[in-house]
Structure 1
Protein backbone atom coordinates (compact mmCIF):
# COMPACT_ATOMS: atom_id res chain seq x y z
CA UNK A 1 0.00 0.00 0.00
CA UNK A 2 1.14 3.53 -0.75
CA UNK A 3 0.02 7.17 -0.92
CA UNK A 4 -0.29 7.82 -4.64
CA UNK A 5 -0.73 10.87 -6.80
CA UNK A 6 -3.16 10.71 -9.70
CA UNK A 7 -2.47 13.05 -12.61
CA UNK A 8 -4.82 13.37 -15.58
CA UNK A 9 -5.04 15.68 -18.58
CA UNK A 10 -7.81 16.09 -21.14
CA UNK A 11 -8.22 18.32 -24.18
CA UNK A 12 -11.58 20.07 -24.32
CA UNK A 13 -12.95 21.85 -27.39
CA UNK A 14 -14.26 24.77 -25.34
CA UNK A 15 -12.74 27.95 -23.94
CA UNK A 16 -11.36 28.05 -20.39
CA UNK A 17 -14.34 30.30 -19.54
CA UNK A 18 -16.81 27.56 -20.57
CA UNK A 19 -14.85 24.83 -18.79
CA UNK A 20 -14.74 27.01 -15.65
CA UNK A 21 -18.54 27.33 -15.81
CA UNK A 22 -18.83 23.54 -15.60
CA UNK A 23 -17.37 23.87 -12.10
CA UNK A 24 -18.86 27.16 -10.93
CA UNK A 25 -22.30 27.58 -12.53
CA UNK A 26 -24.80 25.35 -10.70
CA UNK A 27 -27.14 25.30 -13.72
CA UNK A 28 -24.32 23.83 -15.81
CA UNK A 29 -22.83 21.63 -13.10
CA UNK A 30 -26.19 19.94 -12.44
CA UNK A 31 -25.79 18.29 -15.84
CA UNK A 32 -23.13 16.17 -14.11
CA UNK A 33 -25.55 14.96 -11.44
CA UNK A 34 -25.07 17.54 -8.71
CA UNK A 35 -23.35 20.81 -7.99
CA UNK A 36 -20.38 22.27 -6.21
CA UNK A 37 -21.31 24.27 -3.13
CA UNK A 38 -18.92 27.13 -2.42
CA UNK A 39 -18.57 30.90 -2.18
CA UNK A 40 -15.67 30.53 -4.65
CA UNK A 41 -13.09 32.35 -2.54
CA UNK A 42 -9.83 31.14 -1.01
CA UNK A 43 -10.64 29.79 2.45
CA UNK A 44 -14.30 29.10 1.70
CA UNK A 45 -15.81 25.66 2.06
CA UNK A 46 -16.07 23.49 -1.02
CA UNK A 47 -18.24 20.43 -1.44
CA UNK A 48 -20.22 18.33 -3.89
CA UNK A 49 -23.97 18.13 -3.36
CA UNK A 50 -25.85 15.41 -5.21
CA UNK A 51 -29.31 15.58 -6.77
CA UNK A 52 -30.71 14.29 -3.48
CA UNK A 53 -29.22 17.39 -1.70
CA UNK A 54 -26.80 15.20 0.27
CA UNK A 55 -23.27 16.55 0.67
CA UNK A 56 -20.84 13.93 -0.66
CA UNK A 57 -17.55 15.78 -0.23
CA UNK A 58 -16.30 18.52 2.06
CA UNK A 59 -13.19 20.63 1.80
CA UNK A 60 -11.75 24.12 1.59
CA UNK A 61 -10.54 26.15 -1.39
CA UNK A 62 -6.77 26.60 -1.04
CA UNK A 63 -5.99 28.51 -4.25
CA UNK A 64 -8.26 30.08 -6.83
CA UNK A 65 -7.59 31.91 -10.05
CA UNK A 66 -10.77 32.05 -12.17
CA UNK A 67 -10.50 30.19 -15.47
CA UNK A 68 -6.91 29.16 -14.61
CA UNK A 69 -6.56 27.33 -11.28
CA UNK A 70 -8.65 25.65 -8.60
CA UNK A 71 -6.96 23.89 -5.69
CA UNK A 72 -8.92 22.44 -2.79
CA UNK A 73 -8.64 19.79 -0.17
CA UNK A 74 -11.12 17.10 0.85
CA UNK A 75 -11.81 15.92 4.38
CA UNK A 76 -13.52 12.79 5.66
CA UNK A 77 -17.23 13.58 6.07
CA UNK A 78 -17.36 11.73 9.41
CA UNK A 79 -14.01 12.93 10.78
CA UNK A 80 -13.61 16.48 9.52
CA UNK A 81 -10.05 16.64 10.88
CA UNK A 82 -8.91 13.78 8.61
CA UNK A 83 -7.46 15.09 5.34
CA UNK A 84 -8.20 12.71 2.48
CA UNK A 85 -6.61 14.50 -0.45
CA UNK A 86 -5.62 17.73 -2.16
CA UNK A 87 -6.94 18.27 -5.69
CA UNK A 88 -5.63 20.77 -8.21
CA UNK A 89 -7.25 21.68 -11.53
CA UNK A 90 -5.34 23.77 -14.06
CA UNK A 91 -7.10 25.31 -17.06
CA UNK A 92 -4.70 26.08 -19.93
CA UNK A 93 -5.85 27.87 -23.08
CA UNK A 94 -4.99 25.79 -26.15
CA UNK A 95 -6.02 27.63 -29.32
CA UNK A 96 -9.81 27.80 -29.13
CA UNK A 97 -9.88 25.02 -26.56
CA UNK A 98 -8.63 24.14 -23.11
CA UNK A 99 -6.28 21.60 -21.65
CA UNK A 100 -7.68 20.63 -18.26
CA UNK A 101 -5.13 19.06 -15.93
CA UNK A 102 -6.18 17.41 -12.70
CA UNK A 103 -3.94 16.20 -9.89
CA UNK A 104 -5.06 14.41 -6.74
CA UNK A 105 -2.56 13.94 -3.94
CA UNK A 106 -4.07 11.19 -1.80
CA UNK A 107 -3.23 11.52 1.90
CA UNK A 108 -3.84 7.95 3.02
CA UNK A 109 -2.60 4.52 2.11
CA UNK A 110 -4.51 2.95 -0.74
CA UNK A 111 -4.46 -0.52 -2.28
CA UNK A 112 -3.63 -1.09 -5.92
CA UNK A 113 -7.26 -2.04 -6.56
CA UNK A 114 -8.58 1.20 -5.04
CA UNK A 115 -5.96 3.18 -6.95
CA UNK A 116 -7.18 1.60 -10.19
CA UNK A 117 -10.78 2.46 -9.25
CA UNK A 118 -9.82 6.07 -8.45
CA UNK A 119 -7.98 6.37 -11.77
CA UNK A 120 -11.02 5.11 -13.66
CA UNK A 121 -13.21 7.50 -11.69
CA UNK A 122 -11.02 10.42 -12.76
CA UNK A 123 -11.19 9.34 -16.40
CA UNK A 124 -15.00 9.22 -16.26
CA UNK A 125 -15.27 12.56 -14.41
CA UNK A 126 -13.04 14.40 -16.87
CA UNK A 127 -14.88 12.91 -19.84
CA UNK A 128 -18.10 14.24 -18.31
CA UNK A 129 -16.59 17.72 -17.85
CA UNK A 130 -15.50 17.62 -21.50
CA UNK A 131 -18.95 16.54 -22.67
CA UNK A 132 -20.77 19.25 -20.71
CA UNK A 133 -18.30 22.04 -21.61
CA UNK A 134 -18.43 21.21 -25.31
CA UNK A 135 -22.24 21.43 -25.29
CA UNK A 136 -22.21 25.01 -23.91
Structure 2
Protein backbone atom coordinates (compact mmCIF):
# COMPACT_ATOMS: atom_id res chain seq x y z
CA UNK A 1 0.00 0.00 0.00
CA UNK A 2 1.32 3.44 -0.98
CA UNK A 3 0.83 5.75 2.00
CA UNK A 4 0.94 9.43 1.03
CA UNK A 5 0.67 12.84 2.64
CA UNK A 6 -0.11 16.24 1.18
CA UNK A 7 0.04 19.66 2.79
CA UNK A 8 -0.24 23.12 1.23
CA UNK A 9 0.37 26.68 2.35
CA UNK A 10 -0.32 30.12 0.86
CA UNK A 11 2.71 32.40 0.91
CA UNK A 12 2.58 36.15 0.26
CA UNK A 13 5.58 36.18 -2.06
CA UNK A 14 6.28 35.48 -5.73
CA UNK A 15 7.14 31.93 -6.79
CA UNK A 16 10.74 32.90 -7.57
CA UNK A 17 11.32 33.99 -3.96
CA UNK A 18 9.72 30.80 -2.58
CA UNK A 19 11.79 28.71 -5.01
CA UNK A 20 15.00 30.33 -3.77
CA UNK A 21 13.96 29.57 -0.20
CA UNK A 22 13.65 25.84 -0.93
CA UNK A 23 16.85 25.57 -2.98
CA UNK A 24 19.27 27.99 -1.28
CA UNK A 25 21.14 26.11 1.48
CA UNK A 26 21.47 29.14 3.79
CA UNK A 27 17.74 29.86 3.55
CA UNK A 28 16.78 26.19 3.96
CA UNK A 29 18.66 26.15 7.27
CA UNK A 30 16.58 29.13 8.47
CA UNK A 31 13.19 27.46 8.02
CA UNK A 32 13.95 23.70 8.03
CA UNK A 33 15.01 23.22 11.66
CA UNK A 34 18.68 24.15 11.04
CA UNK A 35 19.12 21.43 8.42
CA UNK A 36 21.99 21.79 5.97
CA UNK A 37 21.24 20.68 2.42
CA UNK A 38 23.76 19.83 -0.29
CA UNK A 39 22.87 19.41 -3.94
CA UNK A 40 23.77 20.83 -7.32
CA UNK A 41 20.02 20.90 -8.12
CA UNK A 42 20.11 18.81 -11.29
CA UNK A 43 17.97 15.79 -12.13
CA UNK A 44 19.78 12.54 -11.42
CA UNK A 45 22.13 14.13 -8.89
CA UNK A 46 22.26 13.49 -5.12
CA UNK A 47 20.60 15.54 -2.42
CA UNK A 48 21.79 15.22 1.19
CA UNK A 49 20.23 16.67 4.34
CA UNK A 50 22.24 16.81 7.58
CA UNK A 51 21.32 18.05 10.99
CA UNK A 52 20.27 17.19 14.48
CA UNK A 53 16.76 16.27 15.62
CA UNK A 54 15.80 15.62 19.23
CA UNK A 55 19.47 15.29 20.19
CA UNK A 56 20.35 12.83 17.40
CA UNK A 57 22.50 13.61 14.38
CA UNK A 58 21.15 12.47 11.03
CA UNK A 59 22.07 12.29 7.37
CA UNK A 60 19.19 11.81 4.95
CA UNK A 61 19.97 10.95 1.35
CA UNK A 62 18.19 10.93 -1.98
CA UNK A 63 18.32 11.74 -5.66
CA UNK A 64 16.69 14.61 -7.51
CA UNK A 65 14.20 13.07 -9.94
CA UNK A 66 12.66 16.17 -11.53
CA UNK A 67 13.41 19.85 -11.29
CA UNK A 68 11.58 22.70 -13.01
CA UNK A 69 12.84 25.96 -11.49
CA UNK A 70 10.03 27.96 -9.95
CA UNK A 71 7.55 25.11 -10.37
CA UNK A 72 8.59 21.63 -9.23
CA UNK A 73 11.22 19.86 -7.17
CA UNK A 74 10.91 16.08 -6.83
CA UNK A 75 13.43 13.89 -5.03
CA UNK A 76 13.74 10.54 -3.33
CA UNK A 77 14.40 10.54 0.41
CA UNK A 78 15.67 8.01 2.95
CA UNK A 79 16.16 9.10 6.55
CA UNK A 80 19.01 7.59 8.53
CA UNK A 81 16.75 7.85 11.60
CA UNK A 82 14.27 5.24 10.30
CA UNK A 83 16.76 2.37 10.39
CA UNK A 84 15.48 1.19 7.00
CA UNK A 85 17.87 -0.54 4.62
CA UNK A 86 19.22 1.60 1.77
CA UNK A 87 17.11 -0.03 -0.95
CA UNK A 88 15.03 1.74 -3.64
CA UNK A 89 11.73 0.46 -2.25
CA UNK A 90 12.44 2.16 1.11
CA UNK A 91 12.82 5.65 -0.34
CA UNK A 92 10.00 8.14 -0.07
CA UNK A 93 9.29 10.48 -2.96
CA UNK A 94 8.97 14.14 -1.98
CA UNK A 95 7.38 16.71 -4.30
CA UNK A 96 7.44 20.48 -3.87
CA UNK A 97 4.90 22.00 -6.28
CA UNK A 98 4.68 25.79 -6.62
CA UNK A 99 1.79 27.61 -8.27
CA UNK A 100 0.43 31.13 -8.39
CA UNK A 101 1.04 34.44 -10.06
CA UNK A 102 2.21 37.82 -8.90
CA UNK A 103 2.80 38.12 -5.20
CA UNK A 104 0.97 34.94 -4.11
CA UNK A 105 2.35 31.40 -4.16
CA UNK A 106 0.74 28.13 -3.19
CA UNK A 107 3.36 25.61 -2.09
CA UNK A 108 2.22 21.99 -1.89
CA UNK A 109 4.41 19.26 -0.41
CA UNK A 110 3.33 15.75 -1.39
CA UNK A 111 5.08 12.61 -0.12
CA UNK A 112 4.67 9.08 -1.44
CA UNK A 113 5.77 5.68 -0.15
CA UNK A 114 5.64 6.57 3.54
CA UNK A 115 6.37 3.46 5.65
CA UNK A 116 3.25 3.61 7.87
CA UNK A 117 0.17 5.58 8.88
CA UNK A 118 2.09 6.70 11.98
CA UNK A 119 4.91 8.01 9.78
CA UNK A 120 2.29 9.85 7.71
CA UNK A 121 0.90 11.64 10.78
CA UNK A 122 4.40 12.59 12.00
CA UNK A 123 5.29 13.81 8.53
CA UNK A 124 2.22 16.03 8.27
CA UNK A 125 2.98 17.57 11.67
CA UNK A 126 6.62 18.25 10.79
CA UNK A 127 5.79 19.67 7.36
CA UNK A 128 3.12 21.91 8.91
CA UNK A 129 5.75 23.40 11.26
CA UNK A 130 8.37 23.63 8.50
CA UNK A 131 6.04 25.34 6.05
CA UNK A 132 4.92 27.87 8.66
CA UNK A 133 8.63 28.60 9.26
CA UNK A 134 9.17 28.90 5.50
CA UNK A 135 6.24 31.31 5.18
CA UNK A 136 7.63 33.52 7.98
CA UNK A 137 11.12 33.43 6.46
CA UNK A 138 9.97 34.34 2.95
CA UNK A 139 7.46 36.99 4.00
CA UNK A 140 10.01 38.97 6.12
The TM-score, its normalising length taken from structure 2, stands at: 0.81
CA contact (8 A) 1:47 1:55 kept: no
CA contact (8 A) 1:14 1:97 kept: yes
Distance 1:13 1:102 in 2: 17
Q: Provide the alpha-carbon RMSD of the alignment.
A: 2.1
2:60 match: secondary structure: coil
Unaligned 5+ segments in structure 2 are: none
**Following superposition of structure 1 onto structure 2, how do residues 57-136 of structure 1 map, counting pairs within 5 Å?**
57-77=60-80, 79-82=85-88, 83-108=90-115, 110-111=116-117, 113-135=118-140
The count of corresponding residues between Structure 1 and Structure 2 is: 131
**Displaced runs of 4 or more, over 6 A:** none
1:57 match: secondary structure: strand
Deviation of 1:76 after TM superposition, in Å, equals: 4.9
CA contact (8 A) 1:8 1:123 kept: yes
The TM-score, its normalising length taken from structure 1, stands at: 0.83
Distance 2:137 2:113 in 1: 26
